[in-house]
Amino acid sequence: MLTYYITERKQFAGAATAQRAQLLQMVAAASSAGVDYIQLREKDLAGGELEKLAREALQAVRSGGSARLLINQRTDVALAAGLDGVHLTGNDLAASEARTLAAKAGRRDFLVAASCHSATEVRLAEAHGADFAVLAPIFEKATVTSIGIGLDALREAAPRERKPDLRVEAGDTRTRFALFALGGITLENAPFCAAAGSDGVAGIRLFQQATDLPSLVRRIRAL
């Protein structure tokens, strides 16, 4: 199973400066622990400050691991800061449009992820050239009023057959399309996501609140 850590610096204790420092430490720790993807999801920051944080986060990622760093929504910031990709929501560009912008910037290796809430949206994201989709919310979260869509929805969205990826065979550097489960994911219910066809799990608290991050990543990877 793949792992996808999504940041939220305001979950950390202290003032803004302390939260920012803890975020960068966490990004470095996640990369060192073997997390596959990290999404910088700090939507309240303006463009200039977000780009500065993105550059520092990229340096933190590269300092001790091989995680791929994406940013939420801002394709322009991702390209300007040299990040590995962008994570798009339903109100953003289509994956194909983000891919076009990346190509114009000479970034054939640029990753495009998409947030989805149904099997139909997952299929659409794949058709538009997304590298992977995140389906949410799978489980209901105690701190949020949203109701989980459940494992049946995840099972419906998961690819039924793993056909050869012609992009990879043709020498394209993009990864095979994958599906991640998000929303109330824990180490205890992650196996059910794997059994339902998910290629990986994503989360904020799952990683930020882990007492032993390397162990968590190893146990999820083994599912």
Q: In this structure, are residues 25 and 7 in contact, taking their beta carbons and an 8 Å threshold?
A: no
Global pTM exceeds 0.85 = yes
> What three-state secondary structure class fits 100?
helix
> What three-state secondary structure class fits 76?
helix
pLDDT for 14: 97
d(CA 219, CA 192): 14
pLDDT for 168: 43
| Rounded mean pLDDT for each run of 10 residues along the chain, 223 residues in total | 97 97 98 98 96 98 94 97 96 92 96 96 94 94 72 91 48 70 96 97 97 98 96
- Identify the bridge partners of residue 12 per DSSP, sorted by sequence position: none
Residue among 1, 15, 12, 2 at smallest CA distance from 205: 12
Q: In this structure, are residues 191 and 162 in contact, taking their beta carbons and an 8 Å threshold?
A: no
Domains and CATH numbers, the chain: 2-221 (3.20.20.70)
Q: Map 194-218 to HEC letters.
A: HHCCCCEEEECHHHHCCCCHHHHHH
